[in-house]
Structure 1
Amino acid sequence: MQTIPLINLLYLILPLIVVWYFYKTWVGNQKEIIYATSRMIIQLLLIGYLLLYLFENKNIYLGGIILLFMIFVSAWISLRNIKNKTKYEYSLIAISLAVSGLIHLFISTYLVLDLEYLYEPQYVIPIAGMIFANIMNALSLGIERFENEYNHSKDFVSSRAISIKACMIPQINSLLAVGLVSLPGMMTGQILSGVDPLIAVRYQIMIMAMLLSSAGISIITYFILKEKTLNY
Structure 2
Amino acid sequence: MQTIPFFNLSLTLIPLLFVWYYYNKWTNDKYEIIISTFRMIFQLLLIGYFLIFLFEKKDNFIGLFIVLFMVTVSTWIALRNTNDKSFKHYSKIFTAIAISGIIHLVLIIEFVLDLKEFYEPRFVIPIAGMIFANTMNALSLAIERFEKEIIRDVVFEKAREIAFKACMIPQINSLLAVGLVSLPGMMTGQILSGVDPLIAVRYQIMIMTMIISSAGISTVIYFLLNKSKVS
Same fold (TM over 0.5): yes
- 1:223 aligns with 223
Partner of 2:128: 128
Instruction: Provide the rounded CA distance (Å) in 2 between the counterparts of 1:108 and 1:171.
Output: 19
The letter of the residue matching 2:74 is: S
Unpaired stretches in structure 1, ≥5 consecutive residues: none
> Matched residues in 2 for 1:208 and 1:154: separation?
32
Structure 1 Cα separation of the partners of residues 191 and 169 of structure 2: 27
**Within-5 A mapping of 1:177-188:** 177-188=177-188
2-structure distance, mates of 1:154, 1:6: 51
Cα separation, 2, equivalents of 1:57 and 1:102: 22
Superposition pairs for residues 1-232 of structure 1, below 5 Å? 1-231=1-231
1:133 alignment partner AA = A
* Letter of the structure 2 residue corresponding to residue 47 of structure 1: I
Q: Which deviates more, 3-12 or 160-169?
A: 3-12
Moved more, 176-185 or 52-61: 52-61
Q: Which runs of 5+ in 2 are unaligned?
A: none
Deviation at 1:95, TM superposition (A): 0.4
Q: Deviations over 1:19-43 (max 9, x none)?
A: 0000000011000000000000000
How does the TM-score come out when normalised to structure 2? 0.99
Q: Secondary structure at the match of 2:163?
A: helix
Task: State the alpha-carbon separation in 1 of the partners of residues 123 and 155 from structure 2.
Answer: 43
C-alpha distance in 1 between matches for 2:148 and 2:214: 23
Deviates more, 1:188-197 or 1:13-22: 13-22
Q: Write the distance in 1 (CA, Å) between the matches of 2:43 and 2:162.
A: 35
**Secondary structure at the residue paired with 2:23?**
helix
Query: Which deviations, in whole Å up to 9, do the C-alpha atoms of 1:186-211 show, x marking residues without a partner?
Result: 00000000000000000000000000
SS state at 1:116 partner? coil
77-86 or 208-217, which moves further after superposition?
A: 77-86
Of 82-91 and 25-34, the range deviating more from structure 2: 82-91
The Cα RMSD (Å) is 0.7
CA separation in 1, counterparts of 2:89 and 2:136?
14
C-alpha distance in 1 between matches for 2:35 and 2:80: 15
Q: CA deviation at 1:154?
A: 4.1
Q: Distance in 2 between matches of 1:227 and 1:57?
A: 43
Query: Aligned residues: percent identity?
Result: 61
Q: Normalising by the residue count of structure 1, what TM-score does the alignment of the two structures yield? A: 0.98
Question: Structure 2: how far apart are the matches of 1:61 and 1:229?
Answer: 36
How many Å separate the matches in 2 of 1:187 and 1:10? 24
Amino acid at match of 1:220: V
Deviation at residue 84 of structure 1 after TM alignment? 1.1
Q: Cα offset for 1:230?
A: 2.4
Q: Distance in 2 between the 1:51 and 1:203 partners? A: 21
Q: For residues 226 and 191 of structure 1, what CA distance do their matches in structure 2 show?
A: 42
1:109, distance to aligned residue in structure 2 (A): 1.0
